[in-house]
Amino acid sequence: MPESGRDYKNAIYEQLALVGKALSSAPRLEMLDVLLQAGRTVEVLAAEVDMSVANTSHHLQVLKRARLVEAERHGQFVTYRVADPTVGELLRAVRLLGERRLSEIDRVTREFLADREGMEVLDRQALRERIADGDCLVLDVRPVEEYAAAHVAGALSLPLEELERRLEELPRDRQIVAYCRGPYCVLAADAVETLRRHGLDAVRATETVQDWRVLGVPVIASAEAHPSGPTQGDDP
């Protein structure tokens, strides 16, 4: 029990520092970004972030100790997911602060998207109005389990890996707005390039599902994300 005001403050800030320490890792930030879309097993998450299962499991345990993620076991299956919606708010705040204060983020992004058509940032207010009026087709190019977890109301689910063989399902008389996990996800960028290569009018939206909510665009969300695959031997 703290015996003084200073002891009390020290104890509180030590606990808050656990969150900061958990976030002080590029792989863990990316893992949280992926887990915000839908729950994942260790193996599936490892493949998503291009890391070994052992390293992924280690990082997950750090996030779990900071109470940023939680694990659920169903028989042999263990699924990790973000522990609280405020984790998404925290990650969004970190992203917005970084974009505002760290010029390197803008430089790297501009260099990556240079000479790629349809990558200009859309005016958010105009985009929101167009979505509300139905003036464009909103295309969700994330994996189906992420769409099932939460998606923009009225958006069509068309995962990137299925795009080329399902092009005939898409209209040629309306602009297509493709979105994925947010500004640092390349799924929508790749989708726009594919669509434009086949003569469709397509542009990329950089918003996350959480961004859409903040903008007032209706989002449909399930009670919980669907597991993506099995894992064994990882205690929740």
Distance CA(19)–CA(95), nearest Å, equals 16
- Where is 11: in which H helix or E strand? helix 5-23
Distance CA(53)–CA(60), nearest Å, equals 10
For residues 140 and 152, is the Cβ–Cβ distance under 8 A?
Answer: yes
Pairing mode, if any, of strands 156-157 and 202-204?
A: unpaired
- Where is 202: in which H helix or E strand? strand 202-204
From the candidates 34, 68, 152, 180, which is the catalytic residue?
180
Annotated catalytic, 136?
no
**Sign of the alpha-carbon torsion through 42, 207, 152, 166:** negative
Cα→Cα distances 200→75, 109, 170, 174, 210, Å: 46, 24, 9, 9, 27
Distance CA(95)–CA(85), nearest Å, equals 16
Structure tokens at 6: 């200073």
For residues 139 and 155, is the Cβ–Cβ distance under 8 A?
Answer: yes
Q: What is the CA radius of gyration of the chain?
A: 20
- The residues carrying an active-site annotation are 180
